[in-house]
Structure 1
Amino acid sequence: MSLYAGIDAGTQSIKLLVYDAQSRQVVATASAPLELISGADGSREQLASWWIDGVHACFAQLDASIRASIVAIAVSGQQHGFVPLGREGEVLAPVKLWCDTSSAHECQQIMQAVGGERRCIELAGNPILPGYTASKLPWTRHHRPEVYRDLAVILLPHDYLNFYLTGERFMEAGDASGTGWLDVRTRQWSPELLAATDPDRDLLQCLPPLVGPGTTFSIVPTIAAALGLSHAVRIAAGGGDNMMAAIGTGCVVPDRLSMSLGTSGTLFAYADRPVVDANGSWAAFCSSSGGWLPLICTMNCTVATETIARLFDFSVGQGEAMIGATSPGAAGLTLLPFFNGERTPNLPDARASMLGMDLRNVTPANCYRAAMEGATYTMKYGYDAFAAAGLEFDTIVLTGGGSKSAAWKQMIADIFDLPVEVPRQAEGAAFGAALQALWSQLRENGDGTTLPELVAQHAAIDLSLSIRPDPVRVDEYQMHYARFLRHLEAVRALDAA
């Protein structure tokens, strides 16, 4: 029996999924929680060692027979994180994460150095947004000068796990798109943006080589032994969590829209050409399958519902039951769920606001619905940019932890006025990584199956979980979404003041 594993290094946990391609069944899953270091300045950090501990904890949960049957692994990781390494491969500082907004000022400095936001988009396809890797380097230079002095290698979170597993330093174009330094049209580093980020150092010397889809590496024998794996295991290139979720949800062919409900919320669609917006309304990323992945990212998704549940001291499961006792619009409550600041819309310094409160509507159930609606409205705001550019979709494929919520699925169908489908494997990023590992190993052995062909065989939809819009609620939500937009514009004006 040959098994394939996907590791997903998220913000809240490390997840491990093991897939049997012959029976087309997931044979094992495991997870390990992660902590988050938060600062009042918008900083969000983790220790890279926590990820390593989490990987070991996950593999330790598997039966020895399953571990011994794994032949290939790929890693999915949260994007944009800045992992600074010294010359000996040592991690020099806590890792600044995708949801870290403390370097918003440095974003503006970099873009001004190349002639502004539009020039930045001309050079690389994307502006430098808070959370992107690029701004974290000048922040480090100013706030952690000893780290900057000793910096030899820049890696992303999934790159670092690959480095741990293989001893090799490399990146791939999908995850590298999120640094802000990659010209997504050519899949090459932008010399102008590297120089604008640090005019005194050749950053190209700090960046590892870029490898293409299907590349594999050997596992370090001592690491294989520690994890209970065969020394013959191959490590595929992996990618950012959104890129791996695209594979896991079948988003490797045009006209498919995927939505991921995790700590952040994302919308992404495969394209066979660069899809760049001159105004930077979406992230013009590369995919990890040889194409491109126009993507909308919000920084506050399940974090919004979890925060409200914690505030009122109930579980997310109890909140799910409460939704049934409320109606669309949450009795007039609107939550702008910007607990981490926000990327879409670009409001890095914004904070969450509950609006429309009166003496009757402030109940735990209404507040929980307002959190779910607010997170969904924020993604709808991003989707409107896709629609304005002429991109059309007939279905949303849902993945991530929030996809397990029946109430949230129906809400998305009603707010977007689109049918919602859920893959049989709900953890799209970990499953996508396992499929990439499978395809890469087959390719290495001379099998000519293309990645879209392989994904079509394995990434099945669970038809029993499909949801269609309720026409009555579609009309109701249009009114409530308009209210959200009015509140958003008012808060945007306050944020700019």
Structure 2
Amino acid sequence: MSLVAGIDAGTQSLKVVVYDPATRTLVATASMPLELTSGEDGRREQQPADWVAAMQTCFSRIDPALRARIVALAVSGQQHGFVPVDADGQVLAPAKLWCDTSTTAECTQIMDAVGGATGAIALAGNPILAGYTASKLPWTKTHRPEAYARLATILLPHDYLNFVLTGQRFCEWGDASGTGWLDVRTRTWSKDLLRATDADRDLADCLPPIAAPDALFDIDPAMAAQLGLPATAKVAVGGGDNMMAAIGTGCVEEGRLAMSLGTSGTLFAYSDTPVVDPAGAWAAFCSSTGGWLPLICTMNCTVATEQVAKAFGFSTREGDAHLHATPPGADGLAMLPFLNGERTPDLPLGKGVLAGLDPTNFSPAHLYRAAMEGATYSLKYGFDAFVRAGMAFDRIVLTGGGSNSAAWRQLVADVFGLPVDVPVQSEGAAFGAALQALWAIGRAGGDTASIADIARTHVAVDPALSARPDPDRTRAYATAYTRFLRYLDAVTPLQRG
């Protein structure tokens, strides 16, 4: 009769799912949109209070009888965000998000202090890229000095919601590795990188303790009452949205490759050992299950297709028809969809580019296809780095909003030349959080099942949504992808200048 819940605080919305492990079904879902504040300097921010309000609204929409049966829950949150909190737990400023590129200069400043990107990778396994938490600290010190002076604790978005739920400040390995400060090889904070971020202050004093992957915390009784949850409910550690999506797609064993098509695009694979690239071709993150999660992130995925649809006055729900009306390669039209700057390839100051326009392809359908292809090619660019490093995969498990598109599923299968499967539970991050809660509460009760055992039992794919590559289209996309790379090579010097 016991249920578990997963909360996913994303960029565009907050979602809550309630899962019944006995029947292996979601028994409730709810979501609320979130507002994003943007600035011309690349600023992308949200109010943490909005996440809390959205969480409360979502739970209020779930049947009280179901809420009363929830024994454990966990939070998935957008990675890299910075929530500055004072000693009393008050938020001091808006949260700067993963897609915030206003701190590009601060990334360079931190890395220069440790010998550049090579030095940062040697210290922690990752360069300090635009959007990572580390660069947000010196920016805040300069632009919000009063908030910085009162800063007591550095929390990530999911850490902050955990603080709201439990009254305790803690983090976990997976999300912490996205700060840029965690040495992913040893899972310890890099004192050198913390000092490079602020030589005048010991930032280690502001970092919360790191909890084990299967740790459980008591829910705050007042918050339990507000959400309509039992006062006995437990809160698992949760993690970054990619780490939770890894659980929700079964990417918790070696050889698994998952792709998320959301506002950002991600491609990640589980490893039992650290997987660090000396050139920083991918993010060398930890998982939230005790392993590691080498990850490719692009900052422009569904945002590109949504912008084209909005510009031409149609819904993305009509997008598949536009794909079917145009051929692979969009008749020579290519889009570099770097609307928010880009992380893969590493062009934080990048802008979107349309190339190859002519009278035959200057149409809404061609532009929509070019946006979808461009977002997919950016992920392929990262995938190629995985392959060059010797990683091998036999299929892709797809999640995120883009996985709802049959045309996009087929496009991924054709571009990568691999079969594509889609889990029955489409909300991979929220579902993964629920499964982590299930695993943690089970271990607390003496169950010895591993997280891989849990995933094998509860993560199922929907055969009706699977896609298999078509050899002819795969060849056509290979030609178009080569063209995309040529355009990328041509504009890279301009976008780095």
Q: TM tier, shorter chain?
A: over 0.9
**Correspondence for 2:147:** 147
> Distance in 2 between the 1:76 and 1:337 partners?
27
> Distance in 2 between the 1:496 and 1:295 partners?
23
| 1:56 to 2:52 alignment | no
> Distance in 2 between the 1:93 and 1:258 partners?
34
**Correspondence for 2:415:** 415
> Distance in 2 between the 1:404 and 1:189 partners?
39
Question: What is the CA deviation profile of residues 360-394 of structure 1, one whole-angstrom value per residue up to 9, with x for unaligned ones?
Answer: 31111111111100000000001010011111111
| 1:36 to 2:36 alignment | yes
Question: What is the CA deviation profile of residues 154-213 of structure 1, one whole-angstrom value per residue up to 9, with x for unaligned ones?
Answer: 000000000000000000000000000000001000000000000000101000000111
Question: What is the CA deviation profile of residues 225-254 of structure 1, one whole-angstrom value per residue up to 9, with x for unaligned ones?
Answer: 111111011000000000000001001100
Query: Contact 2:80–2:132 at 8 Å: present in 1 too?
Result: yes
- In terms of mean alpha carbon deviation, does 360-369 or 172-181 score higher? 360-369
**Correspondence for 2:13:** 13
Question: What is the CA deviation profile of residues 246-275 of structure 1, one whole-angstrom value per residue up to 9, with x for unaligned ones?
Answer: 001001100110000110000000000000
Which amino acid in 1 is paired with 2:375? A
Q: Secondary structure at the match of 2:68?
A: helix
> Distance in 1 between the 2:449 and 2:186 partners?
26
- Give runs of aligned pairs for residues 328-407 of structure 1, distance below 5 A: 328-407=328-407
**Correspondence for 1:303:** 303
> Distance in 2 between the 1:265 and 1:408 partners?
13
Q: Secondary structure at the match of 2:133?
A: coil
**Correspondence for 1:481:** 481
| 1:89 to 2:89 alignment | yes
Which amino acid in 1 is paired with 2:121? I
- The alpha carbon displacement at 1:464 in A equals 2.1
| 1:496 to 2:491 alignment | no
> Distance in 2 between the 1:193 and 1:303 partners?
32
How many residues are aligned here?
497
Which amino acid in 2 is paired with 1:163? F
- Give runs of aligned pairs for residues 156-235 of structure 1, distance below 5 A: 156-235=156-235
**Correspondence for 1:114:** 114
> Distance in 2 between the 1:52 and 1:146 partners?
24
What is the CA RMSD across the aligned residues, in angstroms?
A: 0.7
Query: Contact 2:350–2:496 at 8 Å: present in 1 too?
Result: no
Question: What is the CA deviation profile of residues 318-350 of structure 1, one whole-angstrom value per residue up to 9, with x for unaligned ones?
Answer: 122221111111122111100100000110001
- The alpha carbon displacement at 1:496 in A equals 2.8
Q: Secondary structure at the match of 1:135?
A: helix
**Correspondence for 2:249:** 249
Query: Contact 2:351–2:495 at 8 Å: present in 1 too?
Result: no
**Correspondence for 1:289:** 289
> Distance in 2 between the 1:167 and 1:265 partners?
32
> Distance in 1 between the 2:451 and 2:157 partners?
24
**Correspondence for 1:428:** 428
**Correspondence for 2:443:** 443
Query: Contact 2:296–2:379 at 8 Å: present in 1 too?
Result: yes
- The alignment's TM-score, normalised by the length of structure 1, stands at 0.99
Which amino acid in 1 is paired with 2:444? E
> Distance in 2 between the 1:298 and 1:315 partners?
23
Q: Secondary structure at the match of 1:366?
A: helix
Query: Contact 2:133–2:178 at 8 Å: present in 1 too?
Result: yes
> Distance in 2 between the 1:326 and 1:410 partners?
14
> Distance in 1 between the 2:102 and 2:387 partners?
31
Which amino acid in 2 is paired with 1:209? P
> Distance in 2 between the 1:396 and 1:330 partners?
24
Which amino acid in 2 is paired with 1:190? S
> Distance in 2 between the 1:88 and 1:321 partners?
53
- The alpha carbon displacement at 1:147 in A equals 1.0
Question: What is the CA deviation profile of residues 78-99 of structure 1, one whole-angstrom value per residue up to 9, with x for unaligned ones?
Answer: 0000000011100000100000
- The alpha carbon displacement at 1:358 in A equals 1.7
Query: Contact 2:349–2:496 at 8 Å: present in 1 too?
Result: no
> Distance in 2 between the 1:358 and 1:61 partners?
50
**Correspondence for 2:315:** 315
**Correspondence for 1:66:** 66
Question: What is the CA deviation profile of residues 397-438 of structure 1, one whole-angstrom value per residue up to 9, with x for unaligned ones?
Answer: 001111111000000000000110111111110000000000
- The alpha carbon displacement at 1:31 in A equals 0.3
Mind listing any 5+ residue stretches in structure 2 that lack a counterpart? none
Which amino acid in 2 is paired with 1:91? V
> Distance in 2 between the 1:55 and 1:321 partners?
35
Divergent runs of 4+, >3 A: none
Identical positions, percent: 64
Question: What is the CA deviation profile of residues 456-477 of structure 1, one whole-angstrom value per residue up to 9, with x for unaligned ones?
Answer: 1001111221111000000000
> Distance in 2 between the 1:335 and 1:414 partners?
18
- Give runs of aligned pairs for residues 267-278 of structure 1, distance below 5 A: 267-278=267-278
> Distance in 2 between the 1:410 and 1:318 partners?
16
> Distance in 2 between the 1:397 and 1:25 partners?
19
Which amino acid in 2 is paired with 1:69? R
> Distance in 1 between the 2:341 and 2:479 partners?
25
> Distance in 2 between the 1:402 and 1:256 partners?
20
Q: Secondary structure at the match of 1:376?
A: helix
> Distance in 1 between the 2:75 and 2:275 partners?
26
Q: Secondary structure at the match of 1:178?
A: coil
> Distance in 2 between the 1:370 and 1:130 partners?
25
> Distance in 1 between the 2:95 and 2:326 partners?
40
